[in-house]
Structure 1
Amino acid sequence: MKKHQFAIAAMTIACGAAHAQSNVTVYGSLDAGVAYVNDVAGKSVQRVDQGTMQPDRFGFRGVEDLGGGLKANFQLEGGFATDTGASTNASKIFNRYTTVGLSGDFGAVTLGNMPDIVFDYAGKLSNGFQLTNFYLFHPGNLDTLANTYQFNNTVRYTSPAMSGLTVSAMVGFGEVAGSASKGRNTSAGANYVNGPLRLALAYSKQNDRAAGYAGTFLGSLGLGNAGTVFNSLTTWAAGGGYTAGAWRLNALYTQSTVDLPTSSFKQKNIDLGAAWRYADVRTLNFGYTRSKLGAAKYDQFSVSHVYALSKRSEFYVQAAYQNAGGAAKFAIQNNTGVAAGDSQLVTTIGIHHLF
């Protein structure tokens, strides 16, 4: 009897293993270009920049069909620099995503290290993403649209699409004994896609986060440095996109509030962008951004041309110009360095390849 029961169990396991189907995808992006910046600390600079059109990255993505509409999935993704080969975070191999989860008719539950929902939903409507130019993300990236800060120890739920509407919520645990809020990160949002129309609304709050990447920008305004720790950083974002024929239009508003132990300040950003695909392999991009932090303001104008060499390779020429005004004495575009004056121009000629 016991042998009979064991044989049935073994057959059940074998059938289950035969039914489950899995696949793993290896993917990545390499991007490098020759850049010229007319003013970094008062001097012009020529350099090879990486990840301008898309971030340099490599990753593994896998899905296993467990049957009954249930799937297990994972993603491992790391960022690096094509120009040097270095990791963007020396302490983490997979510094962009390390996630595992389940998905089905109920939606999806994902656990691990991942960007917030402001990046995931609203970020795709920004000039930086839509016009494929890293310089167009906002000074200091306080609103996280450039994905320079991920949530650790995170649980995220994403609903199934309901007439084009998807909602998500996530929490990254601070894991500090005796304090549920210390180091905790939270985010939520809604994403609506219906034919040529896309709309997004998203929220994010990070507790006890070091300024890090934003330190250079804040330093130019006398508001901090890379080691400055925010009591909290709260971001709201709302935007939309529409495709009409050869034109793709995008608009986005973000507002980030930084609370320090003795003060607070708020950054507001407005993106307006347009991409015109005037031939099968040629696209012209135009963008304008207004960024304000208190009495400091920054106006940015951009133009670029992208030529598709194939479905995976592109040649591009880009230019972005920023003028600082009000209390802002120094221009500082994303990833360029602080100018000695109130204006800064950066141009790039490069090639991008996906695999």
Structure 2
Amino acid sequence: MKKSLLALAALGAFAGVAHAQSSVTLYGIVDVGINMNTNAGGFHKYDMSSGVLQGSRFGLRGTEDLGGGLKALFVLENGFDVTNGKLGQGGLMFGRQAYVGLSSQFGTVTLGRQYDSVVDYVGPLESGDQWGGYIGAHPGDLDNFNNSFRTNNTIKYTSANYNGLTFGGTYSLGGQAGNFTGNQIWSLGAGYNNGPLVLGVGYLNARTPAASGGLFNNGGTIATNTPATATTAANFAITSPVYAGFASANTYQVVGAGGAYTFGAATIGLTYSNIRFGNLGKTFASPFTGQTATLNNGEINFKYQLTPALLVGAAYDYTRGAEIANTSRAQYHQGSVGVDYFLSKRTDVYVIGVYQHALGETLSATGSVVDAHAGINGLTGSSTNNQFAARVGIRHKF
């Protein structure tokens, strides 16, 4: 009897150790609120929407200890709309992230649908990724700092942490027979986080971004086929008036950098990005075939932790658009403010306000030169050069 009890105890202890070597965690965010848009295509608009401060989601993440410092890991993350229960990211089951890989003292390699290096290393430094939500992101999220576009078929490397320094890169196979570079995406980045100082740099390069399966159209978005002419370009998810006219480019390139410094309860941050749409007219017809459109963006942001439960923030963002065919370069001035009050560690209520003013001229989705109109990210564009949006929301994490 004693031997049986000892054997049972030994088996129980072994089972406990085996269970501790692997884990699976269910997690998620539910974010919903009421919005006001002063000019949605010429009309005032009031609506309820999901996932502005952070995208509503639920996911599974897990690890398994393989011994010798080697671990297997996976993430399956779904996006959804709280207001109607629909799947996000164009209806994909795990449209936010889906990958599996191995991790060791030398870093982590993962394969699947993932984030690029600009998103990983520079994105967290813009106000939109902190307290401003996607409406506080740069106009049209033209530099992808706010993660509007994810990468499919991606091989990703992330280094170990070397006293605050990390680095990595991604490569996404285009999967086109006979065209190795078609739809391919690659990125590189590095970050430093030590004490009050945070720095990040990133580079992103995507071929034929608006083609079916390209960066702008790889998540079950509005369009499913490559349009034949510029007049059908508006069918794409590239509806932002900031750069809809440049979606025919053969190459989309982003160079980004940012930094933040915390002193006491205050943090001040800066970001910069250079965006190039190269060889217009490659994906579909454009009256400016072969030309390159270059845009530049700069942001300064500030946040202050008034109390452990109350955060306030403010930011100013400036975008200088591309000059095409002797047009007056478009300019976008954007200011945003936010207040976030934490009811608990997992639940907060927030208010965000964003104002944008546009100047100059740009290229429309149909290929014509038009006056620049305001276009706060994620919202229906304005019929004029001004737009104001406000949101009151609640977020719960689990």
> What CA distance in whole angstroms lies between the structure 1 residues aligned with 2:196 and 2:299?
19
Decide which of 228, 239, 244 is 1:216's aligned counterpart.
239
2:339 is the counterpart of 1:305: yes
1:196-275 residue pairs with structure 2 within 5 A? 196-210=196-210, 211-212=216-217, 215-218=238-241, 223=245, 228-259=247-278, 260=280, 261=282, 262=289, 263-275=291-303
Q: TM-score normalised to the size of structure 2?
A: 0.81
> What CA distance in whole angstroms lies between the structure 2 residues aligned with 1:310 and 1:39?
35
Q: 1:229, CA displacement in angstroms?
A: 4.1
- Deviation string, structure 1 residues 200-238 (Cα, Å, up to 9, x no partner): 0100101111155762224x67715xxx54311011000
Q: TM-score normalised to the size of structure 1?
A: 0.90
Gaps of 5+ in 2: 1-13, 211-215, 218-235, 283-288, 323-328, 362-370
Letter in 2 for 1:333: I
Decide which of 291, 304, 309 is 2:319's aligned counterpart.
291
How well do the aligned residues superpose, as a CA RMSD in angstroms? 1.9
Decide which of 342, 351, 354 is 2:394's aligned counterpart.
351
Query: Is the 1:54–1:132 Cα contact (8 Å) retained in structure 2?
Result: no
Query: Is the 1:122–1:202 Cα contact (8 Å) retained in structure 2?
Result: yes
Q: Which runs of 4+ in 1 moved over 6 A?
A: none
> What CA distance in whole angstroms lies between the structure 2 residues aligned with 1:221 and 1:116?
20
> What CA distance in whole angstroms lies between the structure 1 residues aligned with 2:91 and 2:312?
38
* Partner in structure 2 of residue 342 of structure 1: 385
Query: Is the 2:191–2:201 Cα contact (8 Å) retained in structure 1?
Result: yes
Letter in 2 for 1:300: Q
Q: How many residues align?
A: 337
Q: 1:139, CA displacement in angstroms?
A: 2.2
Secondary structure of residue in 2 paired with 1:128: helix
- Deviation string, structure 1 residues 235-286 (Cα, Å, up to 9, x no partner): 1000001211111222111111112231221221111111111112111111
Q: 1:47, CA displacement in angstroms?
A: 0.5
* Partner in structure 1 of residue 307 of structure 2: 279
* Partner in structure 1 of residue 175 of structure 2: 175
Fraction of identical pairs, as percent: 36
Change (3 A) 1:89 1:214: closer
Gaps of 5+ in 1: 1-13
Q: 1:146, CA displacement in angstroms?
A: 2.2
> What CA distance in whole angstroms lies between the structure 1 residues aligned with 2:27 and 2:301?
28
User: Which of the pair is proportionally richer in strand?
Assistant: 1
Q: 1:56, CA displacement in angstroms?
A: 0.9
Q: 1:78, CA displacement in angstroms?
A: 1.4
> What CA distance in whole angstroms lies between the structure 2 residues aligned with 1:248 and 1:144?
23
* Partner in structure 2 of residue 314 of structure 1: 348
Query: Is the 1:20–1:66 Cα contact (8 Å) retained in structure 2?
Result: no
* Partner in structure 1 of residue 119 of structure 2: 119
> What CA distance in whole angstroms lies between the structure 1 residues aligned with 2:259 and 2:97?
26
Q: 1:65, CA displacement in angstroms?
A: 1.2
Secondary structure of residue in 2 paired with 1:215: coil
Query: Is the 1:281–1:309 Cα contact (8 Å) retained in structure 2?
Result: yes
